[in-house]
């Protein structure tokens, strides 16, 4: 971690959703959305003011882009 900036690598797994990893995290963090992933990481780190940077790999970018276009993604339609 450098200052108030925390960089996290993110991938997407069909079974678990978005998966974040960083040396400062004890274990990978998972969530069904990028917003949920960011909130979970913030809760684990606890500092008041931290800037989390998510570095999406190709799989995670493809999933995010598909959801933005209105596609349900590979994990189902999440109760729509």
- Report the candidate in 3, 9, 17, 2 with the shortest Cα–Cα distance to residue 72: 17
- Please report whether residue 27 resides in a domain: yes
Secondary structure class of 29 (helix, strand, coil) = strand
Residue 74 covered by a domain: no
38 three-class SS? helix
Inside any domain, residue 77: no
For residue 79, being part of any structural domain is answered with no
Put simply, whether the predicted model's pTM sits higher than 0.85 gets the answer no
Q: Which two tokens stand for residue 62?
A: 């493809």
Domain assignment of residue 10, yes or no? yes
The pLDDT tens digits of the residues spanning 7-45 come to 999 999 999 999 999 998 989 999 999 999 999 998 988
- CATH number of the domain within which 19 lies: 3.30.160
Structure tokens that stand for 32 in this block:
């069904």
Range of the domain at 57: 5-68
């Amino acid at each position: 971690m450098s200052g108030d900036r925390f960089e996290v690598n993110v991938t997407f797994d069909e079974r678990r959703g978005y998966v974040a990893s960083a040396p400062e995290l004890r274990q990978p963090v998972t969530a069904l959305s990028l917003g949920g992933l960011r909130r979970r990481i913030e809760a684990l780190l606890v500092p008041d003011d931290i800037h989390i940077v998510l570095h999406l790999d190709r799989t995670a970018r493809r999933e995010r882009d598909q959801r933005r276009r209105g596609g349900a993604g590979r994990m189902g339609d999440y109760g729509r």
